[in-house]
Amino acid sequence: MKNYIYPLLFAAVLAGCATVPYTNRHQFNIISGAEEDKMGLQAYQETLSKAKLSTDAQATAMVVRIGQRIAAAAERSDFDWQFKLIDDPKMVNAFCLPGGRVAVYTGILPVTESEEGLAVVMSHEVAHALAHHGAERMSQGELVNLGGAALQVGMANKDPAAQQKVMSAFGLGASVGVLLPFSRSHEAEADHIGLILMAKAGYDPRAAVPFWQRMEAGGGKKPPEFLSTHPSDAARIKKIQAELPEALKYYKGR
């Protein structure tokens, strides 16, 4: 079995090469588009089946309006674009599942404050879907699992206690050294793509800085960045400020 693990690992990496739109980053993704879309639809339907949709017609119309403008800017007519506002004042969040299925929770509206503020959030979430970040994280997890299997095969003749110690170290190293930084890089990339999307949709990307400043001010105690799935607020704001000149090239309202 040992003779087959490493060629399989190498073949998986080669087979999963893809390119992220706008950033042109090469990514590892072994999840097919059809499979990703199916999982996205199932997750969306499950979420909506348990959620209470908002009856605020004005706020719901704003979510749909922003979503349609961002969808047009994304130029993905193959996506099944859907935009829902979920009534949950305690949930300060939004998401976009594969295939363009977007949900915004009412709890984030006081932080967004305006249509442009909400465009920051929704364009960021749509960017995750455009970049296939969910599928890439799943692929990365599969690659780590395959690496763990290869390590176990390589230590087959070692003492069980030594095997356990090495595998524990491998798991911690994979999490802190690979998976968490990987997730943070996705957040930064979604910020980058999101700025461009909202600018193309006619929203001022400069609204991103005060939005994330409000998020920083309203957030509680957070873990150190190296133990988090997200970049620190300060690092995020600094990077967004550096990327604004590029995004403003797409903004016709300035």
- pLDDT reported for residue 204: 97
Query: pLDDT tens, 116-145?
Result: 999 999 999 999 999 998 888 887 766 545
pLDDT in tens, 85-110: 999 999 999 999 999 999 999 999 99
pTM greater than 0.85 (yes/no): no
Total length of the chain: 254
pLDDT of residue 253: 67
Q: Name the active-site residue from 36, 116, 125, 243.
A: 125
Classify residue 1 as exposed, middle or buried by CB count within 10 Å of its CB (0-12, 13-18, 19+).
exposed
- Three-state DSSP at 201 gives coil
Distance CA 245, CA 34 (A): 36
How far is 226 from 203, CA to CA, in rounded Å? 32
pLDDT at 10 over 60: no
- pLDDT tens figures, 59-68: 999 999 999 9
Q: Are 167 and 151 in contact (CB under 8 A)?
A: yes
**Angstrom distance (rounded) from CA 135 to CA 243:** 25
**CA 144/CA 13 separation, integer angstroms:** 11
User: CA 154 to CA 163: how far, in whole Å?
Assistant: 10
**Sheet of 101-105, strand order:** 82-86, 101-105, 94-97
- Per the annotation, the verdict on 125 as an active-site residue is yes
Distance CA 44, CA 69 (A): 21
Nearest to 197 by CA among 79, 85, 189: 189
Kindly tell me if the per-residue pLDDT of 155 is higher than 50: no
Residue 161 has pLDDT above 70, yes or no: no
Out of 83-87, 167-171, 211-215, 231-235, pick the least confident. 167-171
* Cα R_g (the chain), whole angstroms: 20
**CB distance 151 to 251 below 8 Å:** no
